[in-house]
Amino acid sequence: MDTLTADIPSRRDSAPSPLLLLLVAGLVFATACGGLALSDVIGRISAIWVANAILVFFLLKNPQRHCFAILVAGLCANFSADIIMGDTFFTATILTLCNVVGVLIIAVPLRLMGLHDDFARPKPLLMFYALALGPAPAAAGLLAATFFHSSFGREFLSAALDWYATDALGYSIVVPMFMTVRTEAGVKMFGQDQIAETLLLLGVVAGAILLNFFARNYPLAFLFFPAVVFVTFRRGFAGGAIGLLMTGTYLMAPILAGDASDALRPHTLREQIIVVQLFIAVIGFSVVLVGAALAERRRLEQSLAAAIVRAESSREEALVARDAADTANRMKSMFLATMSHELRTPLNAIIGFSELMHTQLYGPLGDERYQDYSALIQKAGRHLLSLINDVLDMSKIEAGKFELCRQTLDMHATVRDCLDLMRERATRGDVALVEDLPALPLWVDADQRSIKQILLNLLSNAIKFSRPNGQVTVRMKILDGNFVLSVRDTGIGIPPEQLSRLGNPFVQVRNSAGASHEGTGLGLALVRALAELHNGTLKIDSTLGGGTTVSVLMPAISGCANATAPQPILAQTG
């Protein structure tokens, strides 16, 4: 208990304090003398032996570097008690060595396995009972019985059983209680907020005692078990220890006073004490197991509560981080949109004036090279304007301000318009444009500018990455309830490790030499965003060196007979 270790020095000290060693020696000496005095009354080695249990407690509760000094102090006290109580020097030495065997068999394995400091957990407690009820008292009992048989002629088996019983009872009753009861828990249960319930609980044990006292001739001792366990449920180890102490005192006092109950009176004094000790040990074992289970449940509840608090804290941090990221993203989108507007105004003027110069609307420029230069300015300006438009559209989409103007579109006409716009670029790249469209017209309820932007971006990418004499094919079809618009090229293909990156803003595919193609990497990102605005998805299939197919899938509703009426997503007529 904490009161027994309050004077234990800090772990920084190299040796235990003299006060601690004096406390160990005093307790071992007093309990050994008491046990021997009781043994003289009822026959040698038949009383409960508490001295070894107290020594085991101190060996488990203190730092390992102090254990040798504590063991020596305890054994000296045990030896002194034997001498004081009348044993010879040789007998006291042998019996002290028998005691140390049992003590070490318990203390050493528990310390080596790290199971010595928390008996409120099931594993240390069960390991202790396995040692305290098995090899420790058995080994010491066999050694002591051998000595008694050879020196005093006592019956070997009877001496061994007596030593085993007294040692095992002492270990199993005393050590778990001392290891689990905490001073602060005892003080808390008598605090202002708990004292009323505590007194009521102890009153239940007192009631069981009174009932047994006034009805001594009836077998009512079983009532102690539920009473003590109930106190343990409500007040833990400390409450159970007090209840067990009350019960043990009541049961043992009449026997020592020669006034045993009618049920015990036919037996010898030795047998009466052993029966009562076994009864107390069983109740103590139950108290410790119940207390350990309650402590483990309380520990799990505290861990769960702490985990919930951590999860809630992490959730709040994640929400704050998400809000900050959303705010930063909106600010970025607003900045890009503003800058795009500011850039487009002077850029339109550059494109317009370069076109006037190139067409020589107001007369010749003088030198032919100026006409070439104006053509280059116009080309670069248009390319830059296209990039700015992509940035502006992407910014609007991310800011949630991109508005769709839905109308019923003839997809055949839309596809052919886009092919006509890209045909000159395809011709310059020596790439053939092929359309693979169904015979029946397809009508889609969508934003015309967005659909054209999707198709133009896909065609531009396909032409850009196609080799000379290559081919770009545009297909439309209905597949599994989806309208599918796909663009297939016979170009360089995309490495598998880069496929997952495509469709993200400002991501470009690099060739084997590490160089990227012209552009910002917004094309596919814009296609994906526009498709998602139409409740669609983007799909990319590619083989390195064998070409790429990029498809846009949108939910389709087919079978409408009215080709001119607006449809929810898609209409197909015959």
**What average pLDDT score do residues 458-472 get?**
89
Judge if 424 and 527 occupy the same domain. yes
- In which band, very low, low, confident or very high, does the pLDDT at 336 lie, cut at 50, 70 and 90? low
Most confident range (mean pLDDT) of 90-99, 209-218, 414-423, 522-531 is 90-99
Judge if 447 and 568 occupy the same domain. yes
Residue 143 has pLDDT above 90, yes or no: yes
What does the block give as tokens for 65? Answer: 């570097």
Judge if 92 and 120 occupy the same domain. yes
pLDDT (0 to 100) of residue 572: 34
**What share of the chain in percent tops pLDDT 90?**
14
- In which band, very low, low, confident or very high, does the pLDDT at 447 lie, cut at 50, 70 and 90? confident
- Domain end, chosen from 137, 154, 169, is at 169
- Domain end, chosen from 169, 198, 219, is at 169
What is the pTM assigned to this prediction? 0.49
- In which band, very low, low, confident or very high, does the pLDDT at 342 lie, cut at 50, 70 and 90? confident
Question: Where is pLDDT greater, at 268 or 416?
Answer: 416
- Interval 316-326: pLDDT, tens: 888 888 888 88
**What share of the chain in percent tops pLDDT 70?**
85
Question: Where is pLDDT greater, at 503 or 137?
Answer: 137
Judge if 450 and 564 occupy the same domain. yes
Q: How far apart, in whole angstroms, are the C-alpha atoms of residue 276 and residue 256?
A: 11
- Domain end, chosen from 169, 195, 230, is at 169
pLDDT (0 to 100) of residue 168: 84
- Of 106-110, 194-198, 497-501, 525-529, the one with minimum mean pLDDT is 497-501
What does the block give as tokens for 60? Answer: 């488990």
pLDDT (0 to 100) of residue 394: 77
Q: Tell me if 302 is assigned to some domain.
A: no
**What average pLDDT score do residues 339-367 get?**
77
- Interval 508-557: pLDDT, tens: 554 543 444 455 567 788 888 888 888 888 888 888 888 889 999 887 65
Average pLDDT value over all residues in the chain: 79
- Which domain does 340 fall in, by range? 325-398
Q: How far apart, in whole angstroms, are the C-alpha atoms of residue 60 and residue 111?
A: 7
Residue 408 DSSP SS3: strand
Q: Which residues contact 248 (CB under 8 A, 6 or more apart)?
A: 276, 280
Judge if 366 and 417 occupy the same domain. no
CATH number at residue 445: 3.30.565.10
pLDDT (0 to 100) of residue 558: 44
pLDDT (0 to 100) of residue 513: 39
Residue 473 has pLDDT above 90, yes or no: yes
* Residue 127 CB-density burial (10 A; 0-12 exposed, 13-18 middle, 19+ buried): middle
Residue 315 has pLDDT above 60, yes or no: yes
Q: Tell me if 189 is assigned to some domain.
A: no
pLDDT (0 to 100) of residue 509: 54
Residue 22 has pLDDT above 90, yes or no: yes
Q: Tell me if 269 is assigned to some domain.
A: no
**What average pLDDT score do residues 271-300 get?**
74
Task: Give the helix, strand, coil percentages of the chain, each rounded to 5.
Answer: 65, 10, 25
Place of tokens 């992490």: 314
Residue 8 has pLDDT above 50, yes or no: no
Judge if 389 and 537 occupy the same domain. no
pLDDT (0 to 100) of residue 365: 75
**What average pLDDT score do residues 55-79 get?**
91
Q: Which residues contact 159 (CB under 8 A, 6 or more apart)?
A: 45, 141, 144, 145, 148, 149
Q: How far apart, in whole angstroms, are the C-alpha atoms of residue 574 and residue 478?
A: 14
- Of 49-63, 114-128, 522-536, 540-554, the one with minimum mean pLDDT is 114-128
- In which band, very low, low, confident or very high, does the pLDDT at 43 lie, cut at 50, 70 and 90? low
Residue 105 has pLDDT above 90, yes or no: yes
Q: Tell me if 262 is assigned to some domain.
A: no
Residue 562 has pLDDT above 50, yes or no: no
Type of residue found at 74: G
pLDDT (0 to 100) of residue 500: 66
Number of domains forming the structure of the chain = 3
What does the block give as tokens for 111? Answer: 């310390």
**What average pLDDT score do residues 67-83 get?**
92
- In which band, very low, low, confident or very high, does the pLDDT at 570 lie, cut at 50, 70 and 90? very low
8 A C-beta contact, residue 539 and residue 551:
yes
Judge if 372 and 424 occupy the same domain. no
Residue 425 has pLDDT above 50, yes or no: yes
Residue 104 has pLDDT above 90, yes or no: yes
Judge if 544 and 484 occupy the same domain. yes
pLDDT (0 to 100) of residue 341: 67
Q: Tell me if 10 is assigned to some domain.
A: yes
pLDDT (0 to 100) of residue 98: 93
The DSSP string of 68-123 is HHHHHHHHHHHHHHHHHTT--HHHHHHHHHHHHHHHHHHHHHHHHTT-SS-TTSHH
Q: Tell me if 215 is assigned to some domain.
A: no
Q: How far apart, in whole angstroms, are the C-alpha atoms of residue 186 and residue 462?
A: 81
Q: Tell me if 160 is assigned to some domain.
A: yes
Residue 287 has pLDDT above 80, yes or no: no
Residue 3 has pLDDT above 70, yes or no: no
Judge if 376 and 503 occupy the same domain. no
Judge if 49 and 32 occupy the same domain. yes
**What average pLDDT score do residues 475-486 get?**
85
8 A C-beta contact, residue 177 and residue 236:
no
Judge if 390 and 332 occupy the same domain. yes
Judge if 377 and 410 occupy the same domain. no
Q: Tell me if 273 is assigned to some domain.
A: no
Q: Which residues contact 273 (CB under 8 A, 6 or more apart)?
A: 38, 42, 46, 47, 48, 252, 255
